[in-house]
Amino acid sequence: MSIKQISVFVENRPGAMKAMTDVLARNGIDMRALSLAETSDFGIVRIIVDNVYQAATTLKDAGFIHSITPVLGVAIPDEPGGLTQVLDVLSQAQVNVEYMYAFLGGKTAEHAYMIFRVENEAAAAAALKAKGIPTVEQEEIAQL
């Protein structure tokens, strides 16, 4: 029901992001989604990758501090109001969205993809399923 997101702490300085992405690239890790939130001293890079274990090990070996968090991947109807439909379902289910960001994927024009960090992942997934809105599993990441 969930996807594993890696949050990497990166210094807020020129070249820091490149250093992190370079480590992943050199080790053949495919980033499928990325979000960057910054403060004056450091940034938090949230990534979805094709191989979580390999990415986490690679980042650790390269000295990057990181954590792994479960998030919900959702196939959004790729039409005007598609995201609003999903947010309406979550709102009606009293599920708070802490943050969200776009996900690279989808070989058809039928869906767009979003990553959601929610307070209650099980309630969110159940509410979406009840309305016929598909979620994305970790095993599907490389196929999207």
DSSP H helices in the chain = 16-26, 52-61, 82-92, 121-130
User: What pLDDT is recorded for position 78?
Assistant: 82
Of residues 6 and 119, the one with the higher pLDDT is: 6
Domain end call among 54, 69, 84:
69
Task: Report the alpha-carbon distance of residue 70 to residue 40 in Å, rounded.
Answer: 27
Question: Is residue 91 helix, strand or coil?
Answer: helix
For residue 16, give both structure tokens. Answer: 């820091």
Render pLDDT for 70-114 as a digit per residue (tens, 0 to 9): 999 999 888 899 999 999 999 999 999 999 998 876 555 577 889
Number of Cβ within a 10 Å radius of residue 26 = 10
As to burial, measured by CB atoms within 10 angstroms (0-12 exposed, 13-18 middle, 19+ buried), residue 123 is: middle
Domain that holds residue 96: 71-143
The CATH number of the domain holding residue 80 is 3.30.2130.10
- Provide the domain count of the chain: 2
User: Quick one: 84 and 139 in the same domain?
Assistant: yes
Domain end call among 44, 69, 94:
69
User: What pLDDT is recorded for position 25?
Assistant: 97
User: What pLDDT is recorded for position 106?
Assistant: 59
Render pLDDT for 5-56 as a digit per residue (tens, 0 to 9): 999 999 988 999 999 999 999 999 999 999 998 777 888 999 999 899 999 9
For the entire predicted model, the pTM comes to 0.88
User: Quick one: 47 and 81 in the same domain?
Assistant: no
User: Quick one: 86 and 102 in the same domain?
Assistant: yes
User: Quick one: 84 and 110 in the same domain?
Assistant: yes
Q: Which of 62-66, 99-103, 139-143 has the highest mean pLDDT?
A: 62-66
